[in-house]
Amino acid sequence: MSDLTQYPIHKLQKLLSAKEITSVELTRAYLEKIDRADPKIKAYITVTPDEALKQAEKADKRIQAGEAGPLTGIPLGIKDNMCLKGVRTTCASKILENFVPPYTATVLQKLEEQGAIFLGKLNLDEFAMGSSTENSAFFPTHNPYNLDHIPGGSSGGSAAATAACLCAGSLGSDTGGSIRQPASHCGVVGMKPTYGRVSRFGLVAFASSLDQIGPITKDVTDCAIMLQAISGYDNRDSTSVDMEVPDYQASLSTDLSGMTIGLPKEYFGKGLSEEVEKGIQNAIGILEQQGAKIVEVSVPHTQYAIACYYIIAPAEASSNLARYDGVKYGFRAKDYSNLLEMYKKTRSEGFGPEVKRRIMIGTYCLSSGYYDAYYKKASQVRTLITNDFKDAFKKCDVMATPVAPTPAFKIGEKTDDPLQMYLSDIFTISTNLAGVPGLSVPCALSSSGLPIGIQFMAPHFKEERTLKAAYALEQALGNFKEWPQF
């Protein structure tokens, strides 16, 4: 049989239920591939082969008994900022290097209950702060399409592992683009659901009012399957919303007649590379052929989104990260003569430079005398951005935009210039500020063979619209790219 690791989840599921393969065989295939290829990609921080094979044996029994769901027996990778009981959760930070959580995140519990297999924990920018996975305290991850390039971030390990077929699909988290941007750079599908659609319980908090967990998959059908599996109200997350979860796969269709797609004019201005623009325009032409009506819309406060996000996110981070003090979790500095010195040394030695930068910016923005000028102003701007989306969605069902201004840049290219790194988040952060869903789906390849994604955004709790548009595009484009071989 051909290389099983290249198959999307929905095909693997068919092979499993037809008993053509077993989950143990499939899990072994992934573990072997990780052994062989991950030294080049560096997607995994921790691989858990024994636990995975045990889960696979259980899944096979379930399949034998005819009790399988769409994810039973499917090997997945998990971003290493979601807690899994008994398996270390590092957030790619020295401060949590040896932290073993005593509980499991709701999303992982849901997947476990449905019989999914966890292959291990995937690399990220430290505490999910970054856009390239170069801020990991351990090592950078490489883009499977070109190992000299970044995979995007912060869920770079999740996107790279999915594209390199080191897992069948993965979970990422998205605070300002961290699922969609790496998905775009690695040629896979990534969805940030509506804020409140998926429980954050057990996700290590970065910026609690923006964070959301979502799937990174090989195709749109897999995205619908995984979103279905993790969505829904959770009484352990007070911000999760008790709203019916629709049947996402049922919304997939290649007929877009009756759908109006808005192109926000602020997303197509300067800074957008020619190649990305061409890829997006080509995709929009295809959507039109599938029956969609294309209109121009406006989200006028977009120009303030980066400034607004880089106040709110660090402000929340500075308070969320106050808990890492050498007492409650993980790392503690060795030499100190009193308690204050222990705190200081632990945090100085335990956090990397980007995390420290955010803590300092956030603390400054929240301090008395500056709170009104920065945090309060940013919160007001956030409301304006949210209202922009509400107004734009009066004129269209979904919006289509670029995901990132350029294809994946080279490793090391932007590490000395944090502002340049922040600016590349321009097309993804507004959805987090407004709380609406966003999905990235591959639409083109650059001249040097790097993937380019297009983003679909929809009103709150209308994820199915983004899935429908993305599915129609994916079907029309066919197999325009192959999975990189390792």
Report yes or no: 207 and 317 within 8 Å, Cβ to Cβ: yes
Residue 301 contacts residue 349 (beta carbons within 8 Å): no
Closest CB 425 distance from ligand GLN, rounded Å: 5
b/e code 267-293 from CB counts within 10 Å (16+ = b) = beeeebeebbeebbeebbebbeebebe
Q: Which stretch binds ligand GLN (CB under 6 A): 23-31, 171-179, 240-248, 369-377?
A: 171-179
Residue 402, phi then psi, degrees to nearest 5: -70, 165
C-alpha dihedral, 33 to 123 to 248 to 202, nearest 10°: 130
Stretch of 91-99, 169-177, 248-256, 462-470 lying at the interface with ligand GLN (CB under 6 A): 169-177
The Cα 199–Cα 233 span in angstroms is: 7
Q: Is 154 a catalytic site residue?
A: yes
12 or 96, CB closer to ligand GLN?
96
Residue whose CB is less far from ligand GLN, 9 or 128? 128
Binding mask 367-406 for ligand GLN (x = CB under 6 A): ----------------------------------------
State yes or no: is 199 an active-site residue. Answer: no
* Cβ neighbours of 422 (radius 10 Å): 18
Q: Please check whether residue 180 is in contact with residue 453, taking contact to mean a CB–CB distance below 8 angstroms.
A: yes
Nearer to ligand GLN, 154 or 228 (CB): 154
Task: Tell me which H or E stretch contains 260.
Answer: strand 260-264
DSSP H or E stretch at residue 274 = helix 274-289
Dist. CA 210–CA 270, nearest whole Å: 27
**Catalytic-labelled residue, pool 79, 121, 192, 462:** 79
Binding mask 248-287 for ligand GLN (x = CB under 6 A): ----------------------------------------
Among 70, 75, 151, 176, binds ligand GLN (CB under 6 A): 176
166 near ligand GLN (CB under 6 A): no
Total of residues contacting ligand GLN (CB under 6 A)? 13
Closest to ligand GLN by CB, 206 or 483 = 206
**151 counts as binding ligand GLN under rule CB under 6 A:** no
Strands 169-174 and 75-79: parallel
Q: What is the contact mask toward ligand GLN in residues 121 to 140, using x (rule: CB under 6 A)? A: -------xxxx---------
Q: Which one, of 182, 42, 132, lies nearest residue 410 by Cα?
A: 132
Give the one residue of 313, 355, 403, 457 binding ligand GLN; rule: CB under 6 A: 313
Work out which of 425, 463, 464, 474 binds ligand GLN, going by CB under 6 A.
425
Q: Among 104, 123, 146, 178, which residue sits at the site for ligand GLN (rule: CB under 6 A)?
A: 178
**In the range 190-209, which residues lie near ligand GLN by CB under 6 A?**
206
* Candidate list 23, 173, 178, 240, residue with the active-site label: 178
Q: Give the CB-nearest residue to ligand GLN.
A: 178
447 is an active site residue: no
* d(C-alpha 372, C-alpha 367), whole Å: 9
| Closest CA relative to residue 220, chosen from 231, 228, 212 | 228
Is 387 within 8 Å of 368 (Cβ atoms)?
Answer: no
Indicate which residues carry an active-site annotation: 79, 154, 178
Please report, as ranges, the residues that interact with ligand GLN according to CB under 6 A: 128-131, 154, 174-178, 206, 313, 425
